[in-house]
Chain A
């Protein structure tokens, strides 16, 4: 495949450089879209790059590269996740499922997490998809709600609603674990509020 190929006015080499800059964020976003399955996230990212190289995903200068790329990643992750879920349900026994889930958790579990981080990730995983996406885009990627709405393919009003609800749910989940574990959540920031 020719690297010098032009994609909608943008040289593929330039696009590659941009993608390289965004690679870390892209992987984080893919992980979030794939329910923190690193294998699937990597596969999704590879499929996205393949789509770009084959010209199936074309960047038009209507939005920022990041918004466009994240949108492609999100769509690809959804389709790949569905495919995998279907295969997983059809051909995997219960024992294999258990084995697989332990393997999936492997690399992330090896990372030394704080207890609070573990609870946070658990709370994040329990959130509905849209809410998790909105929170990830705003807090992790530090992008505006408008851009987040573009990535998610919804209106800014809906994005705001998901964002607010997500924050509320996250607060509630972490508050509950605070009671269970006896660790201050609000108390750290505002002791009088507890």
Chain B
């Protein structure tokens, strides 16, 4: 009996809820038309912080990409670059099949070799210069003397460094003694 009464009460409360829902509900035509247009209105608030963070991430990505590209270019071998330029399927590659073209390539290669040789020679000279300078420095350091080292010496240094003879003092003393008659 009580349960039936409660169910009725719950039903009444749900009816009241239905009335409330109907008052806040959108019209069918509005929702249907929006759906027909295929525009699901996602009313997400515009977040400036999100935009800032995305822009920051994009900047960092671009900067790091630029750095990587730059390093990669620097690390590339210049010979390979030149060869690539010669071999690339561009205008030069099409002109190469003639004998003049081949000569040009040979000349280019010999020029590169000469440049390399000069570079190697310069590097060797540089290394020799550095070695010579190091040897000179080492010699200078070994000969160096302190400017105050002279102050450490005195005329009486001989007394401390040499040993007297056994009878030397007695003989010297005799010369100072008055001559008394014996």
Contacts and interface: CB of A to CB of B under 8 A. Distances in A.
B17 A42 contact: no
B50 A42 contact: no
A23 B32 CA distance: 10
Interface string B16-48: 111011111110100110111010111111010
A39 B25 CA distance: 10
A24 B40 contact: no
Given A27-B26, A189-B9, A46 B34 contact: yes
B43 to A, nearest CB: 6
Contact of A121 (B17, B41, B49): B17
Interface string B133-174: 000000000000000000000000000000000000000000
Given A50-B38, A135-B10, A188-B9, A111 B23 contact: yes
B8 interface: yes
Interface stretch (A67-75, A112-120, A145-153): A112-120
Contact of A46 (B5, B11, B41): B41
A190 B2 contact: yes
Interface in A158-194: 167, 170-171, 185-186, 188-190, 193
B74 interface: no
Given A43-B40, A43-B41, A139 B11 contact: yes
B5 A38 contact: no
Interface residues of A, number: 46
Interface residues on chain B, size class: 35 or more
Contacts of B38: 1, 50, 53-54
B2 A107 contact: no
A69 B26 CA distance: 17
Nearest to B45: A96
B28 A19 contact: yes
Contacts of B41: 43, 46
B1 interface: yes
Most chain B CB within 10 A, of A24, A50, A52, A53, is at A50
A135 B9 CA distance: 13
B13 interface: yes
A120 B38 CA distance: 37
B63 interface: no
Interface in A119-147: 120-121, 135-136, 139-140
Nearest to A140: B14
Nearest to B13: A120
B26 A53 contact: no
Given A19-B28, A28-B18, A46 B35 contact: yes
A1 B28 contact: no
24 contacts: A1-B36, A16-B32, A19-B32, A24-B25, A28-B21, A38-B24, A42-B31, A45-B26, A46-B31, A47-B35, A52-B35, A53-B38, A87-B44, A96-B45, A120-B17, A121-B17, A140-B17, A170-B10, A171-B6, A188-B9, A189-B2, A189-B6, A190-B2, A193-B2
